[in-house]
Amino acid sequence: MVRSLLNGRFENTAFCLLAPDGKERLSRSGRAPEHSFSRRGPRSNSAEAEGVTVAAMEKVARKYEARGDASETVVQDFHSFRQALNVASGDQRLLLFVAAPQKDLASTARTLAPVMVDPRIIGRFHVDLIGDKGDEKWMDMVSDAEPSFGPSIYIIQSDKFGQTGTALKQLPANTNGDQIKSALLAANKTFASQEQRKVYSQHVSDGRRQGVYFEGGVEYGEDRDGDGKIDRRRGGGNGRRSGKR
């Protein structure tokens, strides 16, 4: 996917605005939104580039007004709990996690659909659902959770590096939408008042010093020359630092 957006190159970021079908491209592709919408690129005045980008995205959005009922919304769901926890930490959002029998997940997702598109909720949380046949290792990664309570909805705060989490709130999986919404808003109000914005360079430095490493599905590094292989760095190596990351 990344290579298709960057003319065969593989770099750590890629951007393109797609139509609702997930296929039609509505913008040029590049490393970041500024590359796609601002002709002068991100090296121009940042405020100007940002203004151009926002205006262009709003123009496109007006052509794709929301249709249908909120209950038809597809609820976000990650490939694994560890990925969900890690991404929630990186984005500094709370994670709404549902652990329930597979047969009940569809019903819970229908309840969550209108909740997650509420203007006060949208964009402020990540969501993950797991059935009774899913990976139960999540129990070892979350403190203050009571799986014996039965099918539940957890509001989880990830740790600094997304390796573990703490359950701030636990609700029955059949909790109604209004109660879930109230719990999310209350939890996020406290979270927002306490969470300190991460400084990227310092965060990476702290992670390396503590030996934090997240095993992803894609090899670390970039292929800027587009030869299909991760570029070698000076002094050897394939883009992955020696030791743990």
Q: What is the pLDDT of residues 183-198, one digit of tens each?
A: 999 999 999 999 999 9
pLDDT at 119 over 90: yes
74 and 190 belong to one structural domain: yes
Mean pLDDT within 160-171: 96
Same structural domain, 47 and 140: no
Q: Is residue 90 part of a domain?
A: yes
Q: Which two tokens stand for residue 52?
A: 């151009």
CATH number for the domain spanning 122: value is 3.40.30.10
45 and 111 in a single domain? The answer is no
Asked whether residue 84 is domain-assigned, the answer is yes
Can you read off the two tokens belonging to residue 210? 């503590």
Domain end, chosen from 61, 85, 100, is at 61
- Rounded average pLDDT over 120-138: 87
Q: Same structural domain for residues 22 and 89?
A: no
Domain annotation covers residue 57: yes
Q: Which of 70-74, 89-93, 118-122 has the lowest mean pLDDT?
A: 70-74
* 94 φ, ψ (degrees, to nearest 5): -80, 155
Q: Identify the band that residue 45 occupies on the pLDDT scale cut at 50, 70 and 90.
A: low
| 233, part of any domain | no
Answer whether 205's CB lies under 8 Å from 142's CB.
no
Q: Which two tokens stand for residue 102?
A: 């597979």
Alpha carbon distances (Å) from 156 to 1, 92, 175, 240: 30, 11, 17, 30
Residue 88: domain span: 70-194
CA-to-CA distance for 171 and 178, rounded, in angstroms? 12
> Within a domain: residue 239?
no
**pLDDT at 241 exceeding the cut of 50:** no
pTM: 0.81
Same domain? For 36 and 117 the reply is: no
Query: 108-119: buried (b, 16+ CB within 10 Å) or exposed (e) per residue?
Result: bbebbbbbbeee
The mean pLDDT value of the chain amounts to 88
- How many distinct structural domains can be found in the chain? 2
Region class of 92: left (phi > 0), else alpha (psi between -120 and 50), else beta:
left
